Amino acid sequence: MSNQAARSARPAPFARATQVIASTAALVGHVLGNVERLVIDVTRDSTQVATSATALYADAAIRATQVIGTMRTAPRVARLVTEVLRLVALYKLRGPSEALHRSGAQRMHDLCVELRGGVLKLGQLASCRVDLLPPAYVEALARLQDRVPPLPAAVMRARIQAELGRPVDELFARFDDEAIAAASIAQVHGAQLHDGTEVVVKVQLPGVEDDLAADLAAMRFLVTALGDALPRTDLPTILDELSRSVRGELDFLAEADATEAVRADFAHDPDVVVPRVYRELSSRRVLVLERLHGRPLAAFLAGTDQADADPDADADAAADASADAASDHTARDRVLELLVTTYAAQILAHGRFQADAHPGNFLVLPGPRLGLLDFGALAEVTPTARAAYAQLVLAILQRDTARMAELFGYIGFATLDGDAGALERFAELMMAAFRDGADLATIDPRAQLEAALRLAHENPVVRLPQEFVLIGRVFASLGGLLVKYQPRVSLFAAIAPHVARAAAL
C-alpha cells in the first residue's frame, strides 16, 4: 500500500487528531520564529533547536491516536500540549530569567484553572515543591490549593439531585450556595442536616471523567516527546502511579471506605482528627462528611511566619508581641512535627496513607490538633514492604552501606549502571535531617536536596518500586514545608518509634 493510500485508509478521527497536533506544532513554530527557515539553515546556532522541534512534531503526529482518546476532548488536549511546548520553546530560546519565570508561572496557573481535571491536580502537586521550583511558580501555583474559581451553585445542585434522586432542599435543612473550596475534580459546599449537624458536601464536577482521560493521555505524550529534556528516571512508573491514583479519586464510595479506615486507625489518637462519613447521603459522585472547624494549613503556617514583633512598637507592646510570636512559632513547630509523625504512623504502622499531601488537605484545629481531609488517593503498603522500608531507614541512619545496598535491591530500586553506591549517597543526603540530634535550624535542606538531585541525575534511578512513587510524592510535599519553615523539632524522635516497630514485622 502506498503512503498516499495508507493516509486515505486512516480513520477520520486519526486524521483530525493529526491535524490537531499539526496545528499545535505550527503554533509552537511561530514561537520559535519560523521553524522551516531554521531547519533549512543548518549552519546557524539555532540548528539544534530546529532539529529537536522537527523531531518533536514528527513524533507527535505518529502518536496522535495515543494523545486524543475522543474527539470531544481534542481542543482540550491541543490547548494543553500547545501551552507546554510553547513554554519549553521559550526557555530553550531565551534561557531562564525572572521575567520568564513570572510570565510562565502565570500562564500555567491560568491553564490549570481553565482546564481543571488532571492538569489542576498536577499544578497543586507542583506547588508543594518549594525546594525545587522557582519562587514565581510556587507562588502562582499555590493559589490553586484553595482559590480555584468555583462552578455555579445551580450546576452543583443539579449534580446532587441527579446522583441522590431528591432535590437539595429536601436532603439538607440548609445548603450553602457559596462554595467552601473548588479543586481539580470536585467542589465542596457547606450544609446542615435536618438534625442540626454541620456537614460538607463534596460534589464531583460534571464531565471530569472525560477531561481526566484526555489530560492523562496528553501528559503521557508530553513525557515521551520531551523525555530528552527531563532527568533520566522511571517516568513511566511515576505517570502510571499518578494515573491510577487520580482515577481512583473519581470513586467517592471508595473514598468513603478509605476515610472510615483511616478514621479507625486514629480513633485513639487525640492529636489527629478524621471526619465522619454520612453514607446515606453519599454516592459515587457525592460525598457528605462531618465538618471540621479549623484553619487551613497554608493559612496557619503563613500566619505564624508573620508573627514577629513590630520593632517600632513600645517596649511593653513589643514584649507582648514577642511572646505571642514565640507561642505561634511553638504551635507551628508542633503542627509540622505532627505532620511527620502522622505520616510515619500511616506508612509504617497502619500500612495505608493519604497519598495527596498538599496543604489544602489539612486543617489545624485547636490544641493544636491536625485534621486530615480528602482520602480519594489512599495508598497501601504491605507488612513486608513496611518492614523493608523501616530496615532501610535504620541502615541509612546507622551508615550500614552493605545492608543499604541489599535492601535497595530487595525493595526494587535500580540505577542506570547498576551502582548501588549512588543510591547510598542519595539516601544519606535525604536522611540527614532525620539523624538523632539533627537540628533543622543548622541543616540546609534545600542544599541537601539539590545535592541529592545532582547525584540522581549523574547516575539516575531507572526503576522505582510503585509504592515508593507515592511515598516520594508525600515526602516531597512535606519536605517543601520543612525547607521553608525549618521547625525546631527532632524528626528522629518523631519517626523512631514507628520505624522500630515496623522493622520488627
Q: What does the alpha-carbon distance between residue 159 and residue 171 come to, in Å, rounded to a whole number?
A: 13
For residue 37, the tally of other CB atoms under 10 A from its CB is: 13
E strand or H helix that includes residue 461: strand 461-463
Closest of 134, 89, 124 to residue 226, by C-alpha: 89
Do β-strands 198-204 and 272-273 pair in parallel, antiparallel, or remain unpaired?
unpaired
Compute the CA torsion angle 275, 292, 138, 440 (nearest 10 deg).
-80
β partners of residue 354: 378
User: Does 356 qualify as catalytic in the annotation?
Assistant: yes
CA 305 remoteness from chain centre: 23
Closest of 381, 383, 397, 380 to residue 504, by C-alpha: 383
Q: Are 356 and 242 within 8 A, CB to CB?
A: no
Burial 92-130 (b: 16+ CB within 10 A, else e): beeeeeeebbbebbeebbebbbebbbbbbbbbbbbbbbb
Q: What does the alpha-carbon distance between residue 465 and residue 237 come to, in Å, rounded to a whole number?
A: 8
DSSP string, 254-310: HHHHHHHHHHHHTTT-TTEE-PPB-GGG--SSEEEEEPP--EEHHHHHHHHHT-PPP
Q: What does the alpha-carbon distance between residue 134 and residue 130 come to, in Å, rounded to a whole number?
A: 8
The helix/strand/coil state of 183 is coil
Which residue of the set 356, 374, 400, 419 is catalytic? 356
Q: Are 473 and 378 within 8 A, CB to CB?
A: no
Active site residues: 356
